[in-house]
Amino acid sequence: MLLNRNALLGLTLIAALGIGFVMQYVVQPRTASAPPEPLEVTDITLTASMAAPRDMAVPRLPDTPVRVAADTTTLPAPALPEESAAPQPACPITLEAAPRPAAMVALKLKADCLAGQRVTIHHNGMMFADRTDADGALSITVPALAPKAVFIASFPSGDGAVAQIDVASLKAYDRIVVQWKGRDTGIGLHALEYDAAYWAEGHVWADAPGTTRATAEGKSGLMTRLGVADDDEALLAEVYTFPSRMADIPGAVNLSVEAEVTQANCGRQVDAQTLEYRQAGALRVQDLTLFMPDCDTVGDFLVLKNLIEDLTIAAK
């Protein structure tokens, strides 16, 4: 479905032109003036319009009816204007959505005349930015955050497209999102599955994301990184997925948001947001503001362990 901020205005203008007329109504301002002076009228003469002289004879109509031949000439029918096709967008944009394992959705965006352009993907509160390739295309796989998922792709011009898809399998998964603006925030989402130690097996994060297959089979979680960190206006997100309703082993997943202190973010304020989709239903949203330490602590990490509630896994 194509979106265009000028579409409504264009349709309204086309409708007005189709009617075939333009109405103008101008009200002239009334100027103040003195009240008119009374006019005295005298010498009034009563007259009758077009009165016939009394001695004028009235012509007599013939006694027999007069027959008049009808004109049987056939006039050509007036030429009607041909219907013109609806105006086509200058740059057709399409967005297609297809289901993938682990309640993921494959998005395919096509915008031939918008090659190499920044495009923002919106979905149920989550937002990240990517770029089309040299052909104006973009293919990405996105975790769904709603059983009836709606995805919007929007360009800086205001043009865009929408795709919808049912994701019935989402009921088997829990999902945690952290999203932020800027390429140098140092923020990351970490999951320690079944009491795993840092950097060991079971520690799922951006550099050890897991696999879609293992998650779809109920064995472990999956970390998905979304967006392109190409400038300070970059919109990025990380999504952790765990198959809570398919796991064979009971236990817990410890979740934390962490931020590494770097030369780019030290001494700065970093803003982020978390989204939590759990089986309880409603999406939980939290805003996060971090005041990064001074630059003499570069290389250290801020660990926020209580920001997101840990997952409790019950065996199926």
Q: What is the pLDDT along the chain (316 residues), one digit of tens a residue?
A: 555 544 433 433 333 333 332 333 233 334 444 444 443 333 333 333 344 444 445 455 555 555 545 455 555 666 666 666 655 557 899 999 999 999 999 999 999 999 999 999 999 999 999 999 999 999 999 999 999 999 999 999 999 999 999 999 999 999 999 999 999 999 999 999 999 999 999 999 999 999 999 999 999 999 999 999 998 899 999 999 999 999 988 999 999 999 999 999 999 999 999 999 997 667 899 999 999 999 999 999 999 988 999 999 987 7
CA separation for the pair 237, 188 (Å, rounded): 9
pLDDT of 145 reads 96
Handedness of CA 294, 295, 296, 302 (dihedral sign): positive
pLDDT of 59 reads 52
What's this model's pTM, rounded to 2 decimal places?
Answer: 0.72
pLDDT of 314 reads 87
283 with 277: CB under 8 angstroms?
yes
CA separation for the pair 209, 222 (Å, rounded): 6
